[in-house]
Structure 1
Amino acid sequence: MILPKRTTIYDIAKKLNLNASSVSRALANNSNVSEATRDLILKTAKELNYKPNRIASNLRKGQNQTIGIVVPRINQNYFSNVIAGIEEITYQKRYNIIICQSNESYQKEVECINTLVNQQVSCIVISTSADFAKDDHLQAVLDQGIHLVQFDRVAPNLDTHKVLNDTQEASMEAVSHLINQGYHRIALLEGPQNLSIFRERKAGYLEALRKYNLPINEDLMIENAWTKELGEKATEMLLDLPNPPDAIFASTSDFAALGVLTVAQKRNIKVPQQLGICGYANESFTEITNPPLTTIDQFSNKMGKAIANLYFEEIKNKQISTSRKIVNIKPELIIRASSQKNKI
Structure 2
Amino acid sequence: MKNQKRTTIHDIARKLNIAASSVSRALNNSSKVSASTKELILKTAKELNYKQNFLAQNLRKGQNQTIGVVVPRINQNFFSNIIAGLEEVTYKNGYNLVICQSNESHEREVQCVETLIHQHVSCIVISISVEHTNDDHLKNVLAQGIQLIQFDRVAQDLETFKVINDNEQAATEAVSHMINQGYRRIALLEGPQNLAIFRQRKAGYLRALEQHRVPVVEELIIKNAWTKELGAKATRKLLSLPKPPDAVFASTSDFSALGVLEVANSMGFKVPDVLGVCGYSNEAFSEITTPSITTVDQYSKKMGKAIADLYFEEIKEAPNSTVYKTVSIKPKLIVRSSTQRKNIPG
Q: TM-score when scaled to structure 1?
A: 0.98
Deviates more, 1:237-246 or 1:133-142: 237-246
Aligned to 1:314: 314
Aligned-residue offset at 1:340: 0.7
What is the DSSP-based 3-state SS (H/G/I as helix, E as strand, rest coil) of the residue aligned with 2:328? strand
CA RMSD of aligned residues (A): 1.2
What is the DSSP-based 3-state SS (H/G/I as helix, E as strand, rest coil) of the residue aligned with 2:277? strand
Aligned to 1:114: 114
Extract unaligned runs of 5+ from structure 2: none
Matches within 5 A, 1:240-255: 240-255=240-255
Q: Would you say the 8 A contact 1:153–1:195 is kept in 2?
A: yes
Q: Would you say the 8 A contact 1:145–1:320 is kept in 2?
A: no
Q: Distance in 2 between matches of 1:343 and 1:124?
A: 50
Q: Distance in 2 between matches of 1:318 and 1:175?
A: 42
Aligned to 2:212: 212
Q: Where in structure 1 do 4 or more consecutive aligned residues deviate above 4 Å?
A: none
Q: Distance in 2 between matches of 1:138 and 1:230?
A: 29
Deviations 1:314-339 (CA, angstroms, capped at 9, x unpaired): 34435242111110100000001100
Q: Would you say the 8 A contact 1:168–1:201 is kept in 2?
A: yes
Deviations 1:261-290 (CA, angstroms, capped at 9, x unpaired): 111111121100000000000111111111
Matched residue type, 1:118: H
Q: Distance in 2 between matches of 1:320 and 1:131?
A: 31
What is the DSSP-based 3-state SS (H/G/I as helix, E as strand, rest coil) of the residue aligned with 1:164? strand
Q: Distance in 1 between matches of 2:48 and 2:94?
A: 25
Q: Distance in 2 between matches of 1:174 and 1:55?
A: 46
Q: Distance in 1 between matches of 2:328 and 2:315?
A: 21
Q: Distance in 1 between matches of 2:290 and 2:269?
A: 13
Deviations 1:120-144 (CA, angstroms, capped at 9, x unpaired): 1000000000111011100100000
Measured at CA, do residues 110 and 3 of structure 1 come closer, stay the same or move farther in structure 2, by a change above 3 Å? same
Aligned-residue offset at 1:28: 1.5
Q: Distance in 2 between matches of 1:172 and 1:288?
A: 25
Aligned to 2:142: 142
Q: Distance in 2 between matches of 1:235 and 1:312?
A: 45
Q: Distance in 1 between matches of 2:4 and 2:240?
A: 61
Q: Would you say the 8 A contact 1:181–1:342 is kept in 2?
A: no
Q: Distance in 1 between matches of 2:320 and 2:313?
A: 10
Q: Distance in 2 between matches of 1:222 and 1:17?
A: 73
Deviations 1:195-235 (CA, angstroms, capped at 9, x unpaired): 01100000000111111222212211112112111111111
Matched residue type, 1:211: Q
Deviates more, 1:21-30 or 1:177-186: 21-30
Q: Distance in 2 between matches of 1:2 and 1:243?
A: 67
Q: Distance in 2 between matches of 1:50 and 1:282?
A: 45
Aligned to 2:262: 262
Deviations 1:69-97 (CA, angstroms, capped at 9, x unpaired): 00000000000000000000000001010
What is the DSSP-based 3-state SS (H/G/I as helix, E as strand, rest coil) of the residue aligned with 2:99? strand
Q: Distance in 2 between matches of 1:153 and 1:47?
A: 49
Aligned to 1:181: 181
What is the DSSP-based 3-state SS (H/G/I as helix, E as strand, rest coil) of the residue aligned with 2:204? helix
Matches within 5 A, 1:22-171: 22-171=22-171
Aligned to 1:232: 232
Matched residue type, 2:252: T
Deviations 1:156-191 (CA, angstroms, capped at 9, x unpaired): 011111001100000011001101101000001111
What is the DSSP-based 3-state SS (H/G/I as helix, E as strand, rest coil) of the residue aligned with 1:341? coil
Aligned-residue offset at 1:251: 0.3
Matched residue type, 2:239: L
Matched residue type, 1:249: F
Q: Distance in 2 between matches of 1:176 and 1:229?
A: 26
Aligned-residue offset at 1:2: 4.2
Matched residue type, 1:220: L
Q: TM-score when scaled to structure 2?
A: 0.97
What is the DSSP-based 3-state SS (H/G/I as helix, E as strand, rest coil) of the residue aligned with 1:157? coil
Q: Distance in 2 between matches of 1:307 and 1:333?
A: 22
Deviates more, 1:238-247 or 1:81-90: 238-247
Q: Distance in 2 between matches of 1:51 and 1:222?
A: 55
Matched residue type, 1:149: I
Extract unaligned runs of 5+ from structure 1: none
Q: Distance in 2 between matches of 1:204 and 1:124?
A: 30
